[in-house]
Chains A and B, each alone.
Chain A
């Protein structure tokens, strides 16, 4: 009985290592990554929320580029969630994710181009509203 108990204590100490050893390569590390992604999505949402009044109150090139980045990434991650829900099968998922990445990259590039060569995002909305 005492031997069984001491074995159990030994086992408990090593459960974590065993679990990590078994799960690393998929399970545990991908759960950690998914969790960080989730948190990142929420943090970005809050940051983007703050940019809206800022854009109205103090339009500036720095804000233009920040909004371009935050908006594009927020949209990219959002569409990513839609894909995860509706697209199934390794090949289809890979293709869909690659297409969205291409679109998001082009979108970000386009917005930066607009910020650099044209009036910029903050000013653009203000001008549109003055029509």
Chain B
């Protein structure tokens, strides 16, 4: 009741036309979207040339933080790799088996080959396992801090084991 009176009084003071909206004005969603609010923030702060407060340079790094940025890093790296492969397929004159034979003819040592396979498998395995971890979060599971750490360590362990296993194949 008091809210109603205050809202009506505000209407009168602003001398705007009286609408039925006054009764449920408080129930109407905000006039701006989240995107608009974010754009306003960035436009204002870049215009005023404000420096960004230190964040990653001062905050203590944690395992979940490192896994998170690694997920993004491996994602970008793998995407770049796929794009590079696709563009190479369009541009290079010879066929895939030709280039494989080329690598084969370079007679790299078995350890180097195994290490290369490990280096290729590692980001794929990590991104995949951490991706599953993300999907479980999307289902609402595993948000408690000990669970976050535990699932993180499992992802690391699975990544290393899988990469070693694949490198040995």
Could you tell me which A residues sit within 8 Å of B by CB distance?
A: 4, 7-8, 10-12, 14-15, 18-19, 22-23, 26-28, 30-31, 42, 45-46, 49, 52, 71-72, 75, 78-79, 82, 88-90, 103-104, 106-111, 113-114, 117-119, 124, 127-129, 131
B 12-64 contacts with A by CB, 8 A: 20-21, 23-24, 27-31, 33, 35-36, 39, 42-43, 46
Does B154 lie at the interface of the complex (its beta carbon under 8 Å from any beta carbon of A)? no
Q: How far is the CA of A92 from the CA of B127 in the complex (A)?
A: 28
Please give the distance in Å from A50's CB to the nearest CB on chain B: 12
Assess the A82–B89 pair: CB atoms within 8 A. Answer: no
Assess the B96–A118 pair: CB atoms within 8 A. Answer: yes
Q: How far is the CA of A42 from the CA of B139 in the complex (A)?
A: 10
Does B11 lie at the interface of the complex (its beta carbon under 8 Å from any beta carbon of A)? no
**Sampled A-B contacts (10; CB under 8 Å):** A8-B24, A22-B31, A30-B35, A42-B135, A46-B135, A71-B82, A88-B42, A90-B39, A108-B86, A110-B83
Question: Closest residue to B43 on the A side, CB-wise?
Answer: A89
Assess the B4–A4 pair: CB atoms within 8 A. Answer: yes
Does B72 lie at the interface of the complex (its beta carbon under 8 Å from any beta carbon of A)? yes
Q: How far is the CA of A96 from the CA of B10 in the complex (A)?
A: 45
Could you tell me which B residues sit within 8 Å of A by CB distance?
A: 4, 20-21, 23-24, 27-31, 33, 35-36, 39, 42-43, 46, 72, 75-76, 78-79, 82-83, 85-90, 95-97, 100, 103-104, 113, 117, 128, 131-132, 134-135, 138, 166, 169
* Residues of the B chain whose Cβ atoms lie less than 8 Å from the Cβ of A129: 117, 166, 169
**Looking at chain A's contact residues, is the secondary structure mostly helix, strand, loop, or mixed?**
helix
Partner of A131, one of B87, B104, B128, B135: B104
* Residues of the B chain whose Cβ atoms lie less than 8 Å from the Cβ of A12: 24
Assess the B28–A22 pair: CB atoms within 8 A. Answer: yes
Q: How far is the CA of A78 from the CA of B75 in the complex (A)?
A: 7
Please give the distance in Å from A33's CB to the nearest CB on chain B: 11
Q: How far is the CA of A88 from the CA of B29 in the complex (A)?
A: 25
Please give the distance in Å from A119's CB to the nearest CB on chain B: 5
Assess the B20–A11 pair: CB atoms within 8 A. Answer: yes
Q: How far is the CA of A82 from the CA of B74 in the complex (A)?
A: 12
Partner of A110, one of B21, B27, B78, B89: B89
Partner of B100, one of A11, A19, A131: A131
Partner of A18, one of B28, B97, B103, B113: B28
The 3 A-B residue pairs with the shortest CB-CB distance, nearest first, are A110-B86, A75-B79, A88-B42
Query: Knowing A22-B28, A127-B100 touch, does A45 contact B135 (C-beta < 8 A)?
Result: yes
Question: Closest residue to A4 on the B side, CB-wise?
Answer: B4
